[in-house]
Amino acid sequence: MIDPKELKYSKSHEWVRYDGDDVVIGISDYAQESLGDLVFVNLPEVDDELTVGEALGDVESVKAVSDIISPVSGKVTEINEALLDSPEMINEDPYDAWFVKVTDVQETEDLLSADEYDEFVKEEEA
């Protein structure tokens, strides 16, 4: 799967979509691929304050748990409840399976473009 050009990516493999002043966050195809079949996600609660570089939640595979690092600081306005019941959505279409929507974004880590991210992933695999 090619990574959508309109998205920005973090080095910890989250993707970010700008939606006006708000941002939507999910995890990249490379991330879901390397995590394997996901069986559960822990999401923050609406109104939680996120801090850039800190975990906003985690995803569980059968034998591993990985934190989802927030690329931004801000306030959670919405969470994708659907993921709680069917985490497999993340494996099926990672760019459709968003995790959280965040508003009044304070700071953002410097994110990569799709091409830069592809490069970055290639380096990591090498």
42-49 contacts, C-beta under 8 A, 24 or more apart: 43/79, 43/80, 43/83, 43/84, 43/99, 43/100, 44/76, 44/79, 44/100, 45/76, 45/79, 46/76, 46/77, 46/78, 46/79, 47/75, 47/76, 48/75, 48/76, 49/73, 49/74, 49/75, 49/76
Torsion of CA 60, 62, 65, 69, to 10 degrees: -40
In terms of CB distance, is 33 or 107 closer to other proteins? 33
Of 19, 33, 46, 65, the one binding other proteins (CB under 8 A) is: 65
Residue 126 contacts other proteins per CB under 8 A: no
Residue 49 contacts other proteins per CB under 8 A: no
Of 1, 46, 64, 82, the one binding other proteins (CB under 8 A) is: 64
Of 11, 12, 22, 61, the one binding other proteins (CB under 8 A) is: 61
Residue 26 contacts other proteins per CB under 8 A: no
CB 88, min distance to other proteins, A: 6
Residue 82 contacts other proteins per CB under 8 A: no
Residue 86 contacts other proteins per CB under 8 A: yes
Residues that bind other proteins in the complex, under the rule CB under 8 A: 37, 39-40, 60-65, 86-88
